[in-house]
Amino acid sequence: METVSFTRMDQATAEDWKLLDEETELITPMVVENVLQLLKGLEQITGAYPIDRYQHSLQTATRAYRDGADEEMIVVALLHDIGDTVALENHSEFAAALMRPYISQDNYWLLKHHGLFQGYYYFHFYDRDRHIRDRFKQHPAYQTTVDFCEYWDQRSFDPDYDTLPLSFFEPMVRRIFNRSPHKSV
């Protein structure tokens, strides 16, 4: 296997970066597989909910699909809690960072803030302000995030819901992650 000529980035050549770009193209399919494995790992989080987080994710995506959401939003719905096994306290930010290069700015914002917006349904039980999301009312993705939580996320804990299988969503995930990444720095 060919390797780069440097041991420090400040000594790299254009040829080195070309080689690394080629390697990135080979790694991209592995990223999709790793994302799907991380999603499947949500089966381990059962807890006190009537379904595990994996089924919750599938159910959220199924609801988005059945309501006519576009493919990007369906994948956002599927992967919105993907960070629960590795970043429980900041799972929203984890999912947003993971998907940021492949999704719109509004969907990135939705992912990043959905955990806070979900607080509307339970913060008052912890003596917290359930309306804290309202400080973002002027943001263009505010209402989309409210609707995401209301119609899909918070309703998706039903063990009797006719949820679509992962195999239905896998081609969508692959298409989203095979997009040319947005260069957001």
Calpha distance 170→34 (Å, rounded)? 12
Superfamily of domain 13-177: Hypothetical protein af1432 (1.10.3210.10)
- Averaged pLDDT, 144-158: 98
3 state SS of 8: coil
Domain ranges for the chain, please list them. Answer: 13-177
> Which parts of 87-165 fold into alpha helices (H)?
91-99, 105-118, 142-147
Distance set, CA 140 to CA 54, 104, 143, 169, 181 (Å): 29, 12, 7, 27, 22
- Residue 46: pLDDT band with limits 50, 70, 90: confident
For the entire predicted model, the pTM comes to: 0.91
Does pLDDT of 185 surpass 60? no
Range from 17-26, 41-50, 140-149 that averages highest in pLDDT: 140-149
Q: Distance between the two ends of the chain, CA-based, in angstroms?
A: 31
Calpha distance 120→130 (Å, rounded)? 4
- Averaged pLDDT, 23-30: 83
